[in-house]
Amino acid sequence: MFVIEFKAKGKTKQYEAIDDAIRTSQFIRNKCIRYWMDNKGVGKYDLSAHCKILAKEFKFADELNSQARQASAERAWSSIARFFENCKKQMAGRKGFPKFKKNVRSVEYKGTGWKLINPKTIQFTDKKGIGVLKLKGTWDLGYFQKEDIKRVRLVKRADGYYCQFVLSTEVKEEVEPSNKAIGLDVGLAAFYTDSLGNKIDNPRFLRKAEKKLKRLQRRLSKKVKGSQNRNKARVKLGKAHLKVSRQRKDFVVKLARCVIRSHDAIAYEDLRISNLVRNHCLAKSINDAAWYQFRAWLEYFGWKFGKITIAVPPQYTSQECSNCGIVVKKTLSTRTHACKCGCSLDRDENAAVNILRKGLSTVGHTGFQAWGEATSTLEGASLLEQVAS
């Protein structure tokens, strides 16, 4: 499955109707969470049945399409199932107990409640009164069958409203093999260093926009709460943050695609970003680097183009010598690897070589996580036995 997105154009009343549908979706999700908390042994289908009760009890809930109500219940169950899964894994720290949402920004329709008038126009047919919306974008829905569209989402962002189509169709492409393998070591000084010594500069989009963001935040804080001027200042701040987010995504998507198309096997560290950001001195820089987003797109493009992506354990990749294997202890400030065997090279390049060697010998797992799916292989499997991500 993959998602294509259009800018949704309509009138002010239609935008208000979309906001109403989003609030109703949030209400149903929170009610389902409460129903699960108050009743022992509630399952996924019990939440779907509870949506029907909510529709009878609340008129505004009945105005939302029935399958859109079920999609909201599925979102509630997704958070519950994730909590149960974390408990089974005995994950350290908080397990992610389901919480009530107060700022939902999207509503999701399934097979009903909408219909395409033409590839650039969609009509929503439930009682919320959204009506006909024009779609602005470069994609042509005429290339896809209606049966391929599994879900339709309306998303609210700082710069307007968007319509997303979740498609179930084959997106794999065949490319010529390059007969190359590469190891990648991500960092903060350079975005990544590969096993050949090449470096990609870290763009630091948030750091560059930080001065403007702080200025807009100060202006917002000075406005009177509930005033129109405060709302305008809030929109400006939201658009500035959205621009940074889009710059970051555009950078990692293009870079990941380039890396995948030019290599047959890519090895990288299996980093736990949630643990790394506990260091408050580096948390902002780590989040700005978007390592996890880069990895997710690497794995997605690896699956799309039939290439192998390998995540290896990160332990001692920076400390071990890539030439002789001896552990040479270094602090974070030591940027050059110097070993008794005479090997002297950049710390990150040494780590990238170790990552590639581990990836080609013993593999932690391979897979893609762009939409929540993953495959795995047993530790110790050879490269030929790996699952193409």
Question: What is the predicted pLDDT for the residue at 203?
Answer: 94
28 CB-contact burial (10 Å; exposed 0-12 / middle 13-18 / buried 19+) = buried
Q: Model confidence over 256-314: pLDDT tens digits?
A: 999 999 999 999 999 888 888 888 888 999 999 999 999 999 999 999 998 999 999 88
Closest CA to 78 of 32, 109, 37, 10: 32
Q: Name the residue type at position 301.
A: F
Q: Where in the chain is the domain with CATH 3.30.420?
A: 181-204+245-385
Query: Cα(299)–Cα(293) distance, rounded to whole angstroms?
Result: 10
Give one DSSP letter per residue of 156-213, joined into a string. Answer: EETTEEEEEEEE-S-----------EEEEEE-SSEEEEETTS-EEE---HHHHHHHHH
Say if CB 35 and CB 47 are below 8 A apart.
yes
Q: Model confidence over 179-232: pLDDT tens digits?
A: 889 999 999 989 999 988 899 999 999 999 999 999 999 999 999 998 999 999
Q: How far apart are the first and last CA of the chain?
A: 15
Q: Name the residue type at position 265.
A: A
Specify which residues 192 forms β-bridges with: 186, 200
Query: Cα(33)–Cα(39) distance, rounded to whole angstroms?
Result: 10
Class (C level, CATH) for 181-204+245-385: alpha beta
Say if CB 130 and CB 14 are below 8 A apart.
yes
**Count helices and strands in the chain by DSSP H and E runs:** 10, 14
